[in-house]
Amino acid sequence: MEWKFWRKKPEVVAAPRNEAVKVKPKEKPRELPQLVYKHLVADQGFDADWVWNLKFVRQGRATPRSTFDIRIFNPGAAAQGGVKVTNYASLDDHMDLVIFAGWYDRELAIVELEQMIKEAV
């Protein structure tokens, strides 16, 4: 028996030829990784206190596994707009809340972001 109730079990989806495929659970909003935080503050020159309040959601890429597509948003603005951000796809219909969009690679320490909203800064 597995007693580690705090770990989520991956969803199992029916696949062709009656094979079961494991699907990763959707990722919830988190604080910015140190790599992305440093890029925004040191390289782009944004205020550290403002950047500290931002959250991001990510979506993994197939290859390489250390690369993620990310969307950075202000959780206060999302709550004020009545939008509950639960994962990367939940911002598809609310791109007006996305301040930065792009990708980063953990292993190579590369961050590529595009500023989507100019007035939010």
Per-position pLDDT tens, the chain of length 121 = 566 667 666 655 555 554 544 445 567 899 999 999 999 999 999 999 999 999 999 998 877 888 999 999 999 999 998 999 999 998 888 999 999 999 999 999 999 999 988 765 5
Residue 99 lies in a domain: yes
For position 65, what pLDDT does the model report?
83
Exposure on the CB side of residue 13, measured as CA atoms within 13 A: 7
Number of domains in the chain: 1
Q: Within a domain: residue 9? A: no
Q: Is there a domain that residue 14 lies in?
A: no
Helix (H) or strand (E) holding 59: strand 55-60
Structural domain harbouring 100: 26-115
Structural Rg of the chain based on CA atoms = 17
- Give every strand in the sheet of 98-105, ordered side by side: 30-31, 55-60, 67-73, 98-105, 110-115
Residue 19 maps to a domain: no
Does the predicted TM-score (pTM) go above 0.85?
no
Instruction: Establish how many alpha carbons lie within 13 A of residue 55's alpha carbon, considering only the half-sphere containing its beta carbon.
Output: 18
Query: What pLDDT sits at residue 21?
Result: 45
pLDDT for 23 equals 47
Contacts of 93 (CB under 8 A, 6+ apart): none
Is 121 a domain residue?
no
